[in-house]
Amino acid sequence: MRNTRRKLKSNMPVPPALDVPIHLNRWLALTEPDDQIKEQIIQDINTEIETGNIRTGLSPYIKNGETMFKQKWIKLIGKKAD
């Protein structure tokens, strides 16, 4: 896989990250991990919610009976060089 990341010019401010709420079950359906990986993700997230010990770094929580987590998003808008 080719690295498509580009460095920001040093005079450009880095935008703040946004915490975007993600529904765990919807995310798992979208990403389609192998069953073993899926079960490990669910187990780690449930353990983190129950104990408070950080295992995933996803900041999981329960909202309206559904397991959620936070993804960090940064929005960058670029302009093609002439």
pLDDT digits (tens, 9 = 90+) for 1-21: 455 566 656 677 777 889 999
Task: Please report whether residue 24 resides in a domain.
Answer: yes
Task: Please report whether residue 42 resides in a domain.
Answer: yes
Residue 82 — pLDDT band, cuts 50, 70, 90? confident
Rounded Cα gap, residues 4 and 37, in angstroms: 27
pLDDT at residue number 29: 97
Task: Please report whether residue 66 resides in a domain.
Answer: yes
Task: Please report whether residue 12 resides in a domain.
Answer: no
Task: Please report whether residue 53 resides in a domain.
Answer: yes
How many domains is the chain built from?
A: 1
pLDDT digits (tens, 9 = 90+) for 25-44: 999 999 999 999 999 999 99
Task: Please report whether residue 35 resides in a domain.
Answer: yes
Task: Please report whether residue 55 resides in a domain.
Answer: yes
Q: Which domain holds residue 33?
A: 18-73
Nearest to 48 by CA among 59, 38, 62: 59
- Give strand pairing partners of 63: 66
Q: Which two tokens stand for residue 55?
A: 């295992």
Task: Please report whether residue 80 resides in a domain.
Answer: no
